[in-house]
Chain A
């Protein structure tokens, strides 16, 4: 078994004896076979937690780290309510295993505003445009919109609709959501 730890990541190579140890098997503190010891960087802070390998990033955020801003809607990759950023790109936390993001930087809705509480331009635009009713999909909409603008996919209403299609709003606030994304994109360009 050749295991090595560098830059905060544990890498498992295939062992010569054909036997594998689970997950982070190194430096004398082998966890039980059913849990992984992870160090996750969320909103700039490192959190240590022990989880079963099957635990998703969404459940780790909500149930273990109590960051409940990220919402669980469908839990099967269809609604976008759980959208977070991994290394700056929007992804679905419900289809991401917590173990996959070790060594990567995760940003949730809680990490979007400035340290002094100043809202992100997209958050401010959602308030100004009244871009929600019940609010359940809103954290996912906002995280998706921030990335959509950064990707350069907010050039027209048509493009905004296409590139925001992965975020469903059952209240039907879509026209106001498009208006908010358009406004924030204009502000961020100017």
Chain B
């Protein structure tokens, strides 16, 4: 790991000023930054420790919205009683992510800023070509081992899968990111690789996430996060779905439905075509399965990840049907 200067910020303003320095990177929980520094991927000249800033870890939830401070720990949000009752998909996405130790370290703001990464990205010594690390150098994954790579939102520059879980639930429920001067819809905050794979977020030098806000809704209250993976715990998603469901008074007609996908796309992926196909329709298995297939429109595989195109619609359908069974 290359050495760096260490600065501890005691206020958001101090951190903003320091973050604007060339080569500066923010350190909150450190679970991504320290790991990537050890891999030789992240080479900050200055690390700004924001984890000691006070007042940024509040979790404030009512039926209208949740406001979660950027320094709230993943574990604390996952176990928060009001988050569990008003936004169950958010809690489930969090406790199924990483491990208990990592969730005690990682913050909500840091979680949103984690790099979209693949094994080639993490191994610069053996795979110098990576458009995320060195724009224009090429993509070592294309033509390589692609079992975990994305099938949606890919480009010729990059096919790495967005690895997070929380943001999948946030995209489903129209959360917003508070950057102080700007507020962005979470869907716009994350960028697909296109020709600029190195840019994963719409964030500018000197900007810092201070909080996220999630609007409350009936669909958010009746929601779930289903994560299917190669081993039962402590693993990235092969495919995952954040689903929210609101039924009409008849108990079977879908009034509102939210569908977002993880493990298959280059950014947190909202599947509006599935939602549109199901709104106003009766909740039955045949229509749910048929509509779920629409999520894979435009999907492109790279060989070994072909299975995701079959898997993801089944994950969506299983999650919707499971929610439908719970009154």
For the complex, is A77 an interface residue (Cβ under 8 Å from B)?
yes
Cα–Cα distance between A47 and B34 once the two chains are bound (Å): 23
- The majority secondary structure among interface residues of chain B is mixed
Chain A proximity of B53: nearest CB distance (Å): 10
Task: Please state if B4 and A166 are interface contacts (CB–CB under 8 Å).
Answer: no
B residues with CB within 8 A of A: 1-11, 13-14, 17-18, 21, 27, 30-31, 34-35, 37-39, 46-47, 49, 51-52, 75, 79, 98-102, 104-105, 232-234
A: interface residue count bin = 35 or more
Known: A12-B9, A54-B1, A77-B35. A100 touches B51 (CB 8 A): yes
- The 3 A-B residue pairs with the shortest CB-CB distance, nearest first, are A166-B99, A53-B6, A165-B233
Known: A10-B8, A162-B233. A34 touches B3 (CB 8 A): yes
For the complex, is A13 an interface residue (Cβ under 8 Å from B)?
yes
Task: Please state if B31 and A12 are interface contacts (CB–CB under 8 Å).
Answer: no
A residues with CB within 8 A of B: 9-14, 20, 22-23, 33-34, 36, 52-54, 56, 75-77, 80, 83, 89-92, 94-97, 99-100, 103, 144, 147-148, 151, 153, 161-167
Chain B proximity of A41: nearest CB distance (Å): 15
What residues on B are CB-neighbors of A11 within 8 Å? 8, 10, 52
Task: Please state if B5 and A20 are interface contacts (CB–CB under 8 Å).
Answer: yes
- List 28 contacting pairs A-B, 8 Å CB cutoff, sorted by A: A12-B7, A12-B14, A20-B7, A20-B18, A22-B5, A22-B6, A22-B7, A54-B37, A75-B38, A76-B35, A77-B35, A80-B99, A83-B101, A90-B100, A90-B104, A92-B102, A92-B105, A95-B30, A95-B31, A95-B102, A95-B105, A96-B105, A97-B27, A100-B51, A166-B99, A166-B100, A166-B101, A166-B102
